[in-house]
A and B are shown apart, each in its own frame.
Chain A
Amino acid sequence: MSAAKSAVRSGGGHDEGDDVGVATGQAVAGTRSVAGTRGPVLGAPLFEYLLRLGDDRLILGHRLSEWCGHGPILEEDIATANMALDLIGQAASLLQLAGEAEGQGRDEDALAYFRDGVLFRNCLMVEQPNGDFGQTMMRQFLFDAFSVLQWEALAQVSHTGVAAIAAKSLKEAKYHLRHSSGWVVRLGDGTAESQARVQRALDSVWRFTGELFGRDAVDDAVAALGIPVDQAAMKSGWDAIVDEVLARATLVRPADGPMQRGGRTGRHTEHLGHLLATMQIVARSHPGARW
């Protein structure tokens, strides 16, 4: 997995602006450095956009599945597994659509199991290790709030494939948000120990929230294809949810410092490679196997 190793070496991408070139013709498989451009050249916009949507769910779903058998209580073991199942199901629909958009004959399994780290387009937040249960639920809450707003917006777009997945996934995301926000309140407004730990979790994950609302050439290009999303409106909706829940949880919203970015263009933190090694090994060890 040399590509994954190079992703590890490059480390987490710091905010370098959104300097992204977009191939206008045929899909370009993967990230290439092209003379004259600072940023990576990505594939066709729709393919790239669907990978971003799908990879967020796939990687977060895998992280949640790591709790299976390790939940702090039986109910939460079941809850994390159920949420993982929803997210991986959403990812399957999105990656199937991505494969169709790419037109190279790759299905959702090929895209999930036979892509290296630099070709993943998930945000950095979802690939971070789970930490304790409070860290997992804080990350889940911040993502769920984003996800509900994203699905609400996408359910209205004229691209029928995306709108259908969004309308379906929205119901699931709302249920997840209710669950994760309930835990943020319970832990934040809980004991001194639980409050301190979930506040630390919030402080440490905050640097990854800026990437959720980034806008680049891919977003502009898919807007022209019938998938316009108002990132600024999403951000203010997200701020309102986050502020309400954090207030109820007696937690302090961190100041916006430097934000970590890079996942959307394949510059990941070291954690993604390790996650993929676990997630992909069975499929790669037995290519073409059916079970």
Chain B
Amino acid sequence: MITHERALAAIGTVPDPEVPAISVVELGVVRAVTVSDAGAVTVTITPTYSGCPAMFEIERDIRTALEDAGASRVEVRTVLSPAWTTDWMGPEAREKLRAYGIAPPGRAEQDGLITLTRARPPVACPFCGSHETELRSEFGSTACKAIHVCRACQQPFDEFKAI
């Protein structure tokens, strides 16, 4: 019979399909896990971006991991509120991203309209640590990333966008 603890551990092994350095739990998309007396597991997830195509894989991978861990039945629910924010990623997840070559997200903006006049602070290069970097593309290989280039070590790198 699967316990709540085992269910959490099983979900903790599911990598983010697009950024496999961190788990879906570390990504912050897993919002709640409940286990019934009969061993049925209900997992509540929230999408990163509205159109994130990885949500289907995440749901499937969570289901498989829980079934392998002995869940009698698995239900994966999707909720939109509260909206996902990169502020839910903890220090460990951020360090794993950096070690993987992705600059971790800064603080998400809580204020109103963004203005053109305010320049974004430079993002630290995940390879050499230099702040001599520039934004190359506001959109990257996945919805959650932007592309920068480091002027110090000449290395282009992804940034996990703060939202």
Give the B-binding residues of A (Cβ under 8 A). 74-75, 78-79, 81-83, 85-90, 92-93, 148, 152, 160, 163-165, 167-169, 171-172, 174-175, 177-179, 181-182, 185, 241, 244-245, 248
In the bound complex, what is the Cα–Cα distance between A219 and B69 (angstroms)? 50
Name the A residues within 8 Å of B140 (CB-CB).
78, 82
- Which one, B51, B79, B81, B84, contacts A86 given CB within 8 A? B51
Known: A86-B51, A89-B52. 5 other contacts (CB 8 A): A75-B137, A75-B147, A86-B143, A93-B80, A178-B114
- Which one, B49, B81, B147, contacts A167 given CB within 8 A? B81
Name the B residues within 8 Å of A163 (CB-CB).
81
B161 at the interface (CB under 8 A from A): yes
The 6 closest A-B pairs by CB, nearest first: A89-B51, A89-B50, A164-B81, A85-B51, A75-B137, A82-B139
Main secondary structure of the interface of B (DSSP, over half): loop
- Which one, B81, B138, B141, contacts A175 given CB within 8 A? B138
Taking the closest CB of chain A, its distance from the CB of B33, in whole angstroms, is 21
B116 touches A86 (CB 8 A): no
B114 touches A88 (CB 8 A): no
- Docked complex: B96-152 residues within 8 A CB-CB of A: 108-109, 112-114, 116, 136-141, 143, 147
B32 at the interface (CB under 8 A from A): no
Taking the closest CB of chain B, its distance from the CB of A227, in whole angstroms, is 16
A164 touches B83 (CB 8 A): yes
In the bound complex, what is the Cα–Cα distance between A92 and B50 (angstroms)? 8
- Which one, A82, A93, A248, contacts B116 given CB within 8 A? A248
Query: Chain B: which residue is nearest A241 at the CB level?
Result: B113
B82 at the interface (CB under 8 A from A): yes
- Which one, B80, B116, B141, B147, contacts A178 given CB within 8 A? B116
Taking the closest CB of chain A, its distance from the CB of B137, in whole angstroms, is 4
Query: Chain A: which residue is nearest B46 at the CB level?
Result: A168
Give the A-binding residues of B (Cβ under 8 A). 47, 49-53, 79-85, 108-109, 112-114, 116, 136-141, 143, 147, 161, 163
In the bound complex, what is the Cα–Cα distance between A163 and B79 (angstroms)? 12
11 contacts between A and B (CB under 8 A): A74-B137, A75-B147, A78-B140, A85-B53, A86-B143, A167-B81, A178-B116, A179-B138, A182-B116, A245-B116, A248-B116
Name the A residues within 8 Å of B136 (CB-CB).
75
B139 touches A78 (CB 8 A): yes
Query: Chain B: which residue is nearest A73 at the CB level?
Result: B137
B80 touches A78 (CB 8 A): no
Name the B residues within 8 Å of A152 (CB-CB).
112
In the bound complex, what is the Cα–Cα distance between A86 and B147 (angstroms)? 18
Given contacts A165-B80, A167-B81, A168-B80, contact A82 B143 (CB under 8 A): yes
Taking the closest CB of chain B, its distance from the CB of A207, in whole angstroms, is 26
Name the B residues within 8 Å of A75 (CB-CB).
136-139, 147
B51 touches A90 (CB 8 A): yes
In the bound complex, what is the Cα–Cα distance between A152 and B110 (angstroms)? 12
Given contacts A89-B49, A177-B114, contact A167 B82 (CB under 8 A): yes
B112 touches A85 (CB 8 A): no
Given contacts A75-B136, A88-B51, A171-B163, contact A185 B116 (CB under 8 A): yes
Kindly name the residue among B80, B109, B139, B147 whose own CB sees the greatest number of chain A CB atoms within 10 A: B139
A172 touches B116 (CB 8 A): no
Taking the closest CB of chain A, its distance from the CB of B53, in whole angstroms, is 7
Query: Chain A: which residue is nearest B138 at the CB level?
Result: A179
In the bound complex, what is the Cα–Cα distance between A89 and B83 (angstroms)? 14
Taking the closest CB of chain B, its distance from the CB of A3, in whole angstroms, is 28
A85 touches B81 (CB 8 A): no
In the bound complex, what is the Cα–Cα distance between A168 and B49 (angstroms)? 8
A79 touches B51 (CB 8 A): no
Query: Chain B: which residue is nearest A155 at the CB level?
Result: B83
In the bound complex, what is the Cα–Cα distance between A177 and B138 (angstroms)? 12
